[in-house]
Amino acid sequence: MLNKLGRTGQKIAKFFDKHVVVPITKVVLKITNGFDKSSHKLEGFLAKQSTLLFLSLFLSIILFIVVDQKILTLTTSSAKVFKNQKAEVLYNEERFVITGIPETFDITLIGSKADLYIAEQSSNHNVKLDLTNIKEAGTYKVDVEYDSNGLSSIEYSVNPSQVTIVVYDKESKNQTLSYNIINQDLLDSTLEVSNVELNLDQVVISGADFQLEKVATVQALIDVDNLTKVEAGTQTLENLPLRAYDKEGNVVDVEINKKENVTAKVTLTSSSREVNLNFVPENDVPFGNAISSYSFSQETITVYGSAETLDQLEQNGIDIKVDVSKLTSNYEADVEIPKPVGVKKMSVNKVKVKVEVTQSSDPITMTLRVDALNTPDGFIANALAVDDAEVLVDVTGAYNVIRSLKESEVQAYVDLSGYTKEGTYDVPIKIRPTSSNARLVTFVPKKATVKIVLQKKS
């Protein structure tokens, strides 16, 4: 270890002798040679070893000061680019609205690596647009300023270095406040937002006149993910964020001022109903066969959803379609329950269905009145003759089913939705069952059309 230190010291001494003492000595000798040979005293003074050492030390100190204070530039400059820097904009915010200011700026700094390192550690590069001298609306070109945080040795450039801005007078108007519920999908499937009460019904929006004209609605955003309890009941959400939107749903950049923070009382309810399951045969049973009965493992299920959806399902039930085109004997299987639109959850998703198949009975004939549906507005529809007001229908199916079938369980009708002019028309007859038993049999009308007279109301 000592040997290594010794060798290192020798190297330093040689370097100092070679690059400092020897060059200075040569300079001194040249100076002394310029003097007259008779100046022996000066020559003797300068020739002393102590004099040379003091001169070398003095010049070394001068050289250190020059380098340390950067009087001479001994290192090459470097460049550093800082992208996407925000600018501080100074202007009269209560009176004006400014457009045309870029969202970000790029700054290029040029200087020593040390200074660039210091600049890089700064989180704010102080890009500034000073618009405080603007006194009226109009279009202006403004120079972009940069504060180098005291690093005067750094050169800089900002891109863009100049921007064209448009200054508008700020206007204000009242706007009705509504709400928008977001993240409803995060709610438990058995819950729904049934009611919302805001503490404010109006706010004031401020901005340029052209911005205010775009605003179609201002909404308080109610995020159900912020509810403290995900259960039925009423909760209060505070400090709701507000957004202004145009008629296409795009955000409009205006100020939204309110007299107090917006809060909302949010009511969650769990709406459910017991609804019936309907057996709906698809296609026809093979010739000579008929369905005598069917049953589900459970006749009703519990469904959750909006009140409107549940009201409709409570009245009509849920149809479960079963393909019966290959049934020649009794059938049993698990079937999927289709989830109706508007239903969030069902108590079960599958049920077992049993179908009993028997031989088809001889057909019976029913006489049904023909109803006119979807008569155009402003018109009345009548049968041309008595024979057109009713239709004979052959009913085929299991004996026990067709013998118990009532006329009220079947509807014969004509659809007039495509007719728009006065006249007499041959309109196709359609038959539809209106009960579960009626769905188990086959209806064949004895004539395909009836004559309907369409007249304008007097």
Does pLDDT of 426 surpass 80?
Answer: yes
pLDDT given for residue 253 in this prediction: 92
% of the chain exceeding 70 in pLDDT: 82
List pLDDT tens digits, range 245-298: 999 999 999 999 998 999 999 999 888 899 999 999 999 999 999 999 999 999
pLDDT given for residue 448 in this prediction: 95
The residue whose two tokens read 């709701």 is 240
pLDDT confidence bin for 358, thresholds 50/70/90: very high
Strands of the sheet with 78-85, listed across from one edge: 78-85, 105-111, 155-159
Does pLDDT of 116 surpass 90?
Answer: no
pLDDT confidence bin for 356, thresholds 50/70/90: very high
How far apart are alpha carbons 348 and 346 in whole angstroms?
Answer: 5
Does pLDDT of 375 surpass 80?
Answer: yes
Amino acid identity of 156?
Y
CB 443 within 8 A of CB 393: yes
Q: What share of the chain is helix, strand, coil (3-state, %, to 5)?
A: 25, 45, 35
Pairing of strands 242-245, 202-207: unpaired
- Contacts of 32 by beta carbon, 8 Å cutoff, 6+ apart: 42, 43, 46, 47
How far apart are alpha carbons 279 and 78 in whole angstroms?
Answer: 82
The candidate with the shortest Cα–Cα distance to 178, out of 219, 144, 138, 206, is: 219
Model confidence pTM above 0.85: no
Looking from the CA of 434 toward its CB, the CA atoms found within 13 Å total 11
pLDDT given for residue 27 in this prediction: 61
How far apart are alpha carbons 60 and 47 in whole angstroms?
Answer: 19
How far apart are alpha carbons 101 and 89 in whole angstroms?
Answer: 9
- When the pLDDT of each residue in the chain is averaged and rounded to a whole number, the result is 85
pLDDT given for residue 335 in this prediction: 95
pLDDT given for residue 313 in this prediction: 93
Q: State the DSSP H helix or E strand holding residue 33, giving kind and residue range, or none if neither.
A: helix 22-34
Does pLDDT of 430 surpass 70?
Answer: yes
Looking at 74-78, 89-93, 433-437, which range is the least confident one? Answer: 74-78
Looking from the CA of 287 toward its CB, the CA atoms found within 13 Å total 0
pLDDT given for residue 22 in this prediction: 63
pLDDT confidence bin for 305, thresholds 50/70/90: confident
The residue whose two tokens read 């379609």 is 321
List pLDDT tens digits, range 58-69: 777 776 665 555
Average pLDDT over residues 197-207: 94
Average pLDDT over residues 428-457: 94
**Count of other CB atoms within 10 angstroms of residue 385:** 10
Average pLDDT over residues 196-220: 94
Average pLDDT over residues 378-405: 94
pLDDT given for residue 346 in this prediction: 93
Average pLDDT over residues 372-387: 93
- Is the pLDDT higher at 1 or at 348? 348
pLDDT given for residue 74 in this prediction: 44
The candidate with the shortest Cα–Cα distance to 447, out of 416, 414, 420, is: 414
How far apart are alpha carbons 142 and 146 in whole angstroms?
Answer: 13
Q: State the DSSP H helix or E strand holding residue 51, giving kind and residue range, or none if neither.
A: helix 49-68
pLDDT confidence bin for 13, thresholds 50/70/90: low
Kindly give the residue spans of alpha helices, DSSP state H, lying in 230-380.
Answer: 307-316
How far apart are alpha carbons 139 and 168 in whole angstroms?
Answer: 9
CB 214 within 8 A of CB 240: no
Amino acid identity of 383?
A
Tokens of 313: 């399902």
